[in-house]
């Protein structure tokens, strides 16, 4: 005889929806449930047990606890038997998840990821509960019956130096936006009373966003120890090119008030071809965002390089820079690019890395919660121990990390690398070791 799983039992519910193998079922279910609000493409199951901060406090065990690809927290509960204070319990569960997002330190700005608690009840909560299939609860303004927290956030700029969003206040949206759409997008903005109306067309799909205010939200981070090793060969120069590129993007798109004086100066080096993607691209060609006339150096870039060369005490490189200033041809740029990976000129690269460290050092690092931060700490300590061993052998190294965005999570995970310098007689290269 066939055997069936009872989805209303605690075991059956978790078996159907709470396993990695059935993740697609949970994603489909949640997307149908939140249709018109959010679209989930992936999610990660989290630890169901939430320990209390104090021994005398009570812990929490969720039926299903996960986070979406957008950083939203989702709790799913099945309650088969009557419980007198289930409403309070669901509020407690949600509140605990909100509180756990807190980050220690004065720099945390109280920005919270959305928390959804989905409860299945096989009974009426009480005699006063309206008899209906579904009930949605949210914080509401009692006067005009509008949502208390009604912000829609649109990614404006995301890189290792900054996470920035356009925040639409008192907003609502109709239609379905296609996040994976790559065709032509048409947009039209109008105003009706105190409300703005943004209409976005993706082929035959129309999304309308109604909002009253628009603000820019930004979070700035230290990028001096960020390392992505997407392209092999002279990785230390490719990391330099990458950091200068994300710095320049921050300066161009977020504005000068998001950069300090040193950053503003160093951002000009994007206009120095021996250092930019013309000679040392950090990513493959299909991911390069082209700039207008990338082979043409700027006067400001020349002045910054002259200061760096003077600090490094490299007269030979300085003479060639003078030739390049008079004859800004591609072959001269390529000659300087070759010189940059020579051991005799490595002090220039070291000075540039030092300056970028000074420029970004005051911004602080990303935090991903207690558990993730501890994992990153363990990997970093492992790298430091290895670094100490190498130093005893006369080998210099640098610790670099790779990490995802904090809010709009991407596919990049937590990684820590040790970049070991190999300064030969002629060429300087590096060996990359992942911890």
Q: How far apart are CA 74 and CA 88, in angstroms?
A: 17
Same domain, 164 and 306: no
Same domain, 227 and 351: yes
Instruction: Output the pLDDT for position 97.
Output: 72
Same domain, 360 and 378: yes
The pairing of beta strand 73-79 with beta strand 115-121: parallel
Q: How far apart are CA 261 and CA 265, in angstroms?
A: 6
Domain boundary among the residues 121, 144, 165 is at 121
Same domain, 253 and 187: no
Does residue 57 fall inside a structural domain?
A: yes
Non-local CB neighbours of 286 within 8 Å, separated by 6+ positions: none
Q: How far apart are CA 300 and CA 104, in angstroms?
A: 41
Same domain, 414 and 265: yes
Does residue 2 fall inside a structural domain?
A: no
**Residue 223: phi, psi to the nearest 5?**
-115, 10
Q: How far apart are CA 415 and CA 426, in angstroms?
A: 31
Does residue 356 fall inside a structural domain?
A: yes
Does residue 97 fall inside a structural domain?
A: yes
Does residue 15 fall inside a structural domain?
A: yes
Enter the DSSP assignment of 187: E
Does residue 127 fall inside a structural domain?
A: no
Token output for 229 = 């090793």
Same domain, 206 and 233: no
Instruction: Output the pLDDT for position 250.
Output: 92
Name the β-bridge partners of 164: 157, 218
Same domain, 277 and 378: yes
Does residue 3 fall inside a structural domain?
A: no
Q: Which residues of 369-405 are buried (b: 16+ CB within 10 A; e: fewer)?
A: eeeebeebeebeeebeebbeeeeeeeeebbbbbbbbb
Contact between 280 and 237 under an 8 Å Cβ cutoff? The reply is yes
**Residue 115: phi, psi to the nearest 5?**
-120, 125
Q: How far apart are CA 369 and CA 240, in angstroms?
A: 29
Q: How far apart are CA 57 and CA 300, in angstroms?
A: 60
Name the β-bridge partners of 172: 210
Instruction: Output the pLDDT for position 421.
Output: 92
Same domain, 313 and 413: yes
Q: How far apart are CA 53 and CA 103, in angstroms?
A: 14
User: Quick one: how far is CA 204 from the chain centroid?
Assistant: 31
Instruction: Output the pLDDT for position 307.
Output: 96
Instruction: Output the pLDDT for position 137.
Output: 65
Token output for 18 = 């709470």
Domain with 191 in it: 152-219
Same domain, 202 and 226: no
Token output for 434 = 């992942």
Does residue 126 fall inside a structural domain?
A: no
Instruction: Output the pLDDT for position 58.
Output: 58
Instruction: Output the pLDDT for position 43.
Output: 78
Instruction: Output the pLDDT for position 17.
Output: 72
Which residues in the chain land under pLDDT 50?
1, 54-57, 128
Question: Helices 315-326 and 330-340, interaxial angle, to 10°?
Answer: 160
Total structural domains in the chain? 3
Same domain, 355 and 426: yes
Domain boundary among the residues 219, 252, 267 is at 219
Same domain, 27 and 94: yes
Domain boundary among the residues 121, 143, 167 is at 121
Same domain, 374 and 394: yes
């Amino acid at each position: 005889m066939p055997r069936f799983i009872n989805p209303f039992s605690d075991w059956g519910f978790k078996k159907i929806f709470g396993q990695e193998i059935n993740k697609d079922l949970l994603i489909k279910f949640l997307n149908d449930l939140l249709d018109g609000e959010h679209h989930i493409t992936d999610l990660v199951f989290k630890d169901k047990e939430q320990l209390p901060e104090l021994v005398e406090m009570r812990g929490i065990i969720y039926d299903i606890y996960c986070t979406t690809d957008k950083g939203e927290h989702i709790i799913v509960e099945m309650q088969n038997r009557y419980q007198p204070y289930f409403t309070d319990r669901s509020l407690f569960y949600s509140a605990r998840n909100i509180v756990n997002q807190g980050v220690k330190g004065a720099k945390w700005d109280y920005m919270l990821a959305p928390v959804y608690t989905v409860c299945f009840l096989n009974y009426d909560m009480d005699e006063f509960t309206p008899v209906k299939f579904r009930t949605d609860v949210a914080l509401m303004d009692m006067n005009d019956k509008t949502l208390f927290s009604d912000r829609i956030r649109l990614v404006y700029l995301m890189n290792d130096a900054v996470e920035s969003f356009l925040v639409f206040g008192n907003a609502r949206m109709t239609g379905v936006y296609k996040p994976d759409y790559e065709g032509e997008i048409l947009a039209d903005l109008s105003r009706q009373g105190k409300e703005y109306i943004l209409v976005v067309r993706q082929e035959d799909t129309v999304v309308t966003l109604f909002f009253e205010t628009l603000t820019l939200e930004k979070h700035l981070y230290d990028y001096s120890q960020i390392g992505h090793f997407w392209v092999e060969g002279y990785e230390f120069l490719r990391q330099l090119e990458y950091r200068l590129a994300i710095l320049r993007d921050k300066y161009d798109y977020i504005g000068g008030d998001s950069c300090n004086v040193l950053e503003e100066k160093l951002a000009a080096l994007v206009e120095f071809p021996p250092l930019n993607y013309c000679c040392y691209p950090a990513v493959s060609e299909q991911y390069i965002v082209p700039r207008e006339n990338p082979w043409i150096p700027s006067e400001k870039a020349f002045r910054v390089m002259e200061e760096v060369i003077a600090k490094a005490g490299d007269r030979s490189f300085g003479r060639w820079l003078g030739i390049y200033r008079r004859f800004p041809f591609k072959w001269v740029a390529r000659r300087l690019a070759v010189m940059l990976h020579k051991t005799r000129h490595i002090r220039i690269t070291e000075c540039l890395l030092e300056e970028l460290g000074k420029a970004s050092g005051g911004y602080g690092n990303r935090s991903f919660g207690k558990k993730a931060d501890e994992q990153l700490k363990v990997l970093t300590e492992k790298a430091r121990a290895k670094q100490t061993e190498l130093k005893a052998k006369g080998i210099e190294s640098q610790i670099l990390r790779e990490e995802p965005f904090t809010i709009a999570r991407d596919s990049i995970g937590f990684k820590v690398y040790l970049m070991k310098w190999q300064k030969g007689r002629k060429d300087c290269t590096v060996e990359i070791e992942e911890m």
